[in-house]
Amino acid sequence: MIEKISYEDMLSYSKELAASADAINSLIENKEFHELQEFVTEVNNYSRYLESTVKLHKSADEALEYLKNNRASN
């Protein structure tokens, strides 16, 4: 969980953003909408950022769990 958002919700938001960016991109394909193309690129970048943030937090959760379990064992 990140703040009050579950990992699953965060990944869902990421996928929705990517799908929206793809839809916009297909509409402007072969057209000269540079500002809109930059926006789509930034939305895709943010989508990937959300995915990597979830991976980072999950890894941190696993590491903390491992440390807690090994500390209790010692």
Is 38 domain-assigned? yes
Given a cut of 70, is residue 47 above it in pLDDT? yes
How high is the mean pLDDT of the chain?
A: 91
- 34 found inside a domain: yes
In a domain, 37, yes or no: yes
Which range of residues forms the domain containing residue 65?
7-73
Instruction: Report how far Cα 12 is from the mean position of its chain's Cα atoms.
Output: 9
Distance CA 71, CA 4 (A): 28
Domain annotation covers residue 43: yes
User: What pLDDT is attached to residue 31?
Assistant: 83
**Angle value at C-alpha 39, between 36 and 40, nearest 5 degrees:** 90
* Lowest mean pLDDT, pick from 34-38, 39-43, 44-48: 34-38
Please say if the pLDDT value at position 30 is more than 90: no
Decide if 1 is inside a domain. Answer: no
Q: What percent of the chain has pLDDT over 90?
A: 69
CA dist 54 → 2, 16, 50, 69 (Å):
8, 15, 6, 22
Distance of alpha carbon 37 from alpha carbon 44, whole angstroms: 11
pTM: 0.79
Domain count, the chain: 1
**For residue 71, pLDDT beyond 90:** no
